[in-house]
Structure 1
């Protein structure tokens, strides 16, 4: 598999093919109301906020267990470019191979079940046949036999899957990040974090440790059962619609933070939401952590007036430590000024807003 994908015919299902997350930045959402707006109230504090990962309303990002949307092809092209430039963005320690096969099975089954027009999986014992029509991939292989795939199982399926993923091995009463891929991450590094335990890789998060958030989260996750996945939201801000905001490429995207003005704020500043879901894997007993990134520009967010009001209040009142950790402290006042023009002072009620 390379950058030379054999794409499906032009009349094959609603994917953006000319979209880019770098250079010319042609990323767009055809319907901003599909964006998973993350705030259920007018203020925000870091919390576990886990809920069952259940199918949701039709036409939303929650309709299926794994969301395959209009950005699928463009995101896979961007992922292939990142991996070509830096293969260490995908790593798996030797003892995680079985967890990689578990993850491959989880994703192939979900996509073939929920998107049969785009993906299919047929099995005859351990002889499997996988078809990915959007990327023009057709692969026969033997399940659990790594030599029958062009890449190790985890990397193979990650090259066809939106979102960053990590695999946590459970031992010594905690979780260890022993495999992962990150090409659309919010300023963290697989190469740095691989081999760390749960508290080590969460160490940079302010305030949450003193409130015991991660102690409670770990206790919950260690009890996670196969077949009962959970999900949560996380979020930050990104100047320009960049998927790849890794520490390794900070020299490319970091200076973009200095380019914001009141005139270009709506176009350039993007709310970056991570829909994070966790699955207990059946054979390895590892936990798969899916970090699916969604982007939406301020100018698209404010087309939903209730989102505009809430986003203004969240950013305005966010504790300084969190604004610093999330990387937008230098631009917060400018963001608040721009968003304040969209806040008419109308009261809001707790809960996620339905689309109008």
Structure 2
């Protein structure tokens, strides 16, 4: 186990386990949670004052932010790409602007929304200027709820039902960047669901309603889509075996799962719900950079009767490294299905389209 993998496992243990050891660590870092919360509150108060005074700089393009309250695991990448597609369908020429943490997110966006400019810029205001220079007329900001230096037309905030816990703990004792009350500055709260049971989804909805009673709530399911041969992403090794399957292909099939995502357990539950038999799950830290030793371990666990399956986010990094003699590497991406609140999401898109028309008189 690598140092990074061990660190991720320890953090997950502290954040999610009810074991005595985990509770002791959480208790020990509670003063740090309070300090972090005080810093967040002071920072937000400063931004709130600037908003009230009209002192926020005007963004180069009308923008929609798709963010969350926690550290990863809510489905921002597929949801942000979904909103980009909706804006494009509405006649806009959108860009997707993101910080670019790791080398996987921007590449995944490029595959999910081909032909749409993907701008990597730690300062989103600069990213919007770049997008405008590329003849874009609006943008989706990936993971920008806490990046308040740039104004936005709509703030969409995702809350994962799969990663939900009744105890909302701020960093470092938990995964929350902000308390639930911060949802009051959101335009829309979106519950994302992968494999969470109905009662947990209902608990999330009740918690959002209690913390931010005036914020509209929508619900999206992130459902596994077609299984594709990973080599087809970039014409890598194994290109002639360019196959794809629907989810029925997974029924009874033995798998080695590979994931370097924020919520690997939800990925595994999705595959098992589709009927797969998971013999091993190689779960690495979010945004993990795979090395030769990782691939050797993965390949060693696969054989003629076991398939290797990863997420699209992992496939873009694994394909260039995958050995020609290794088993076929497959990937599954998430498709966005609107379960509740379609009209709320339509209104959010319409607000960005209206702002685009107001600031770009020649826009159709």
After TM superposition, the score normalised by the length of structure 2 is 0.26
Higher helix share: 2
After TM superposition, the score normalised by the length of structure 1 is 0.26
